[in-house]
Chains A and B, each alone.
Chain A
Amino acid sequence: MAEIVKPQTDQPESAQAHDAHAHHGEESFWSKYVFPTDHKMIAMQYMFTGMAMALIGGFMVYAFRMQLAFPGIDVPLYGVVTPNRYNALVTLHGTIMIFWVAMPVLIAAFGNFLIPLMIGCDDMVFPKVNRLSYQIFLLSAIVLVVSFFVEGGGFGGAWTAYPPLSAKAEYSQTGLGSSLWLVAVTLEFIAFLLGGINFVTTAMNARAPGMGMYDIPMVVWMIVIASVLFMASVGPLIAGAVMLFMDQNIGTAFFDPDKGGDPILWQHLFWFFGHPEVYVVLLPAMGISADIICTFARKQLFAYKTFLYTTFGTGVLSFTVWAHHQFVAGIDPRMANIFTVTTLLISIPIAEMCFIYIATLYGGSIRLTTPMLWALAFVAEFMIGGVTGIFLGASGADVYYHDTYFVLAHFHYTFFPIAIIGTFAGFTFWFPKMFGKMMNETLGKIHFWGTIIPFNCIFIPLFMLGSAGQHRRVYSYENFPDLAQPQFQDLRVFATISLLVMLGFQLVFFYNCFISWRKKEKDAGKNPWRSNTLEWVAESPPPHGNFPELPHCYRGPYEYGTPGREEDYFPQNLPA
């Protein structure tokens, strides 16, 4: 009963907080910055924790790419990458980038910052659950980082953690590292379950008066759908994680074939979650791009309802494709035919969404600001990830490509646009709202090109190496005569140098953030991009409680170029 009553008790609480504005000024440092309930501050906590984790994940990729290009080298700032360190580095790079960067930044940071502002309310429906969500997330991040330094080193069984390797210390040599990895992942899922409850409830129940279902900005819809997908898919994996933890530590045999268990069971549990997870992080990035493209093309989102229903369809379909990761894993070969059908079907809604982005640009008045460049790059680069996925979803071709660098390049062409390009798009777009100051456009564009060009130079050679049969998670190809040929080593060196260039250009981003944040004058104003959605009605940065007076919503989010109006935009809160 208590849980059912809670929403009613919490909401008035935050509403009261909003009424008593004077009270907010007295907040202590601890309650404002360390244990906040304000959704914007929690968003910042998630954002900066995610970015700090991205730096760790980026450093890891630097270390193991140096080893691949120059085997045996004493990597500056790291040291020699031994085989067990290599395995731990690639495992934790994958885990961190997906669970501790893409998830916290795209879902938690943007979800927390944008949902209440865009739907025109003062805070999340459950502010204290929100605070708890971040605290558990922070704990999970600490456990994960610690796992790298315990005896035996970090877990090195890849981010998919297939047993029996992950289940027995005698096989992995990293008993404690594997267990801590599982604990961290499970804690992280609990944090996002709490966050997801908040996002869905807030967006569905706390919308501004007048805001119908089709007036919700697409990015809010996308985060809501992503949260539902996450909550619906994560259960089996949490169950699997508990089973695997028991296999590791108290001698159960869920995944141990010697005692009647089945290692493939884990793969089903993992990928039943793992494939929807791709869409969990994809959708917010798609929503961010949609909002930015509409703003800077001064256009309505083409066929809003189609986009929305297509997303629902994608979400449902995403639960039916998981075994395409397991075509050659020893499942009954007949099953591959079914999963090939579902996997190819999912290309249709995704293609439709790309068509919608393109159609949105038609007849627009496009301004290539830094956020717009990122949003357009998201679409352009994601298409490469999308089309290369077809090769892997087609069972016959996957016999060859499975577990090669082709797979690696393919999913980096999806995850990089999602997690990195999508984040930069959203961050540069809403930076003025977050801090009240504009970022430097020239530095922004230098950073953009300095990231996008090297990104392609890293991963196109990896497609080639994958086609040459180079398989994944190998610390040095010197032991494989066919792969050790000099023309392939040249490609590895080229990819690594491109990576170093790309990492170097990230300094421009941090410098730009720093000087923009340090500016004395708050030069952004309320609505620097002349955008329509409700967050631009609030002050920049919005105070605790967001709006002096909760806004009323009169129309959809993308009314640009409305006929018969002098201005080319029509904010949602203005009466007709």
Chain B
Amino acid sequence: MPQLYLEALSTYASDIDNLILLIAVLVGFWFVLCEGIFFYFIFRFREKDGVRTEYITGENERHKRWISYPHILVLVCDLFILVGAIQVWYDIKQHLPEPHETVRIVGQQWAWTFVHPGPDHVLDTADDITTVNELHVEVGKVYHFKLEARDVLHSFSVPVFRLKQDAIPGRIITGWFEATGVGEYDIQCAEICGIGHGLMAARIFIESPESHAAWIAEKSPFQLAVTATASTIED
């Protein structure tokens, strides 16, 4: 169960955790039942002197019921899991809510490049903020990401969001997330991408609106230019 080990910090993270819990309960029931009967039979029907085995072919209906009824119950459990799985999947991958901001994420051997839209909140303008291995997002805002790869396959994985999406060279894949809590966490590359795969570590900084605004102000190309000019004048 992921929530035992790390926080759930996106709007759909708890949906995934609940789906995992649902599956765990249903398959856990069958698992305990099957293993329980299996071991019970092993102990109960150990070889004893003078006791002959029962001759059961399992071919008549009266006996076959013991496997055909459970079989229907398994099908019912599968239906529950199916509905849950498709619902969660639809919300994450198929139905993208309207974004507040859009970021570009580019994987290459062996670093992540993040292009933030900057003060004007529009991507591909002069004030975009480009960083390497650092993604800064604001809590409570819907982000779309445009995921690209330069060379080989990579996979953009943020465990606290429960999010994963492969990046494919030659394609731009759009996905979304909305963070629900602040903090600093791992971003991994989850698809083997060569010798430096184990070095392809990035961090996500989920910030409050104030500190995110401060970060944008500090890093925006315009602000950097002003700072640089000011220091030149001072010299």
Contacts and interface: CB of A to CB of B under 8 A. Distances in A.
Interface of A: 83-84, 86-87, 156-158, 162, 164-165, 171-173, 257-258, 262-264, 297-306, 327-330, 333-334, 336-337, 340-341, 344-345, 347-348, 351-352, 354-368, 376, 379-380, 383-384, 387-388, 390-391, 394-397, 399-400, 402-404, 464, 467-469, 471-476, 479-483, 560-563, 568
Given A302-B67, A397-B85, A469 B53 contact: no
B28 to A, nearest CB: 8
Given A300-B58, A355-B67, A467 B2 contact: yes
B81 A344 contact: yes
Contact of A302 (B39, B56, B93): B56
B92 A383 contact: no
A86 B198 contact: yes
Interface string B164-190: 111111110100000000000110111
Given A355-B67, A359-B58, A366-B47, A164 B151 contact: yes
A88 to B, nearest CB: 10
A362 B109 contact: no
Interface stretch (B70-78, B210-218, B223-231): B70-78
Contacts of A464: 5
B55 A476 contact: no
Top 8 nearest A-B pairs (CB, nearest first) are A257-B170, A396-B88, A469-B159, A363-B54, A394-B85, A302-B58, A468-B5, A303-B58
Nearest to A305: B59
Contact of A376 (B42, B54, B56): B42
A171 B64 contact: no
A347 to B, nearest CB: 6
Contact of A329 (B37, B54, B166): B166
Contact of A84 (B15, B75, B195): B195
Size class of the contact patch on chain B: 35 or more
Nearest to B173: A330
Q: Name which of A262, A333, A356, A481 has the most chain B CB atoms within 10 A of its CB.
A: A333
A158 B162 contact: no
Contacts of A471: 157, 188-190
B85 A395 contact: yes
Nearest to A488: B5
Contacts of B28: 387
A158 B5 contact: no
A305 B85 CA distance: 33
B131 interface: no
A347 B74 contact: yes
A219 B159 CA distance: 43
A359 B189 CA distance: 46
A482 B203 CA distance: 10
Q: Name which of A158, A328, A357 has the most chain B CB atoms within 10 A of its CB.
A: A328
Nearest to A90: B192
A516 to B, nearest CB: 24
A399 B35 contact: no
Given A468-B2, A562-B55, A479 B23 contact: no
B233 interface: no
B152 A165 contact: yes
Contact of A306 (B46, B67, B159): B67
A396 B19 contact: yes
Given A330-B173, A341-B82, A396-B16, A87 B64 contact: no
B30 A257 contact: no
A539 B125 CA distance: 83
Given A165-B192, A257-B168, A376-B42, A304 B57 contact: yes
A380 B38 contact: yes
A483 B19 CA distance: 24
A463 to B, nearest CB: 10
A568 B164 CA distance: 57
B171 to A, nearest CB: 6
Nearest to A172: B194
Nearest to B57: A300
Contacts of A366: 41-42, 45-47
B122 interface: no
Contacts of A337: 86, 89
Given A171-B151, A306-B64, A480 B84 contact: no
Contacts of A402: 164, 190
Contacts of B24: 391
Contacts of B82: 340-341, 344, 394
A328 B56 contact: no
Contact of B197 (A164, A357, A473): A473
B194 A383 contact: no
A365 B52 contact: yes
Nearest to A157: B192
B165 A395 contact: no
A367 B48 CA distance: 9
B196 interface: yes
A229 to B, nearest CB: 22
Contact of A298 (B5, B42, B53, B71): B53
A29 B229 CA distance: 88
Given A402-B190, A480-B188, A258 B170 contact: yes
A79 B151 CA distance: 31
Given A299-B56, A391-B23, A471-B190, 7 more contacts: A257-B170, A306-B64, A336-B93, A340-B85, A379-B38, A467-B4, A482-B6
A334 B90 CA distance: 8
Contacts of A165: 152-153, 192-194
Contacts of A399: 16, 88-89, 92-93, 162-164
A334 B88 CA distance: 13
Contacts of B168: 257, 263-264, 329-330
A354 B35 CA distance: 10
A396 B87 contact: yes
A78 B152 CA distance: 30
A361 B190 contact: no
Contact of B89 (A164, A391, A395): A395
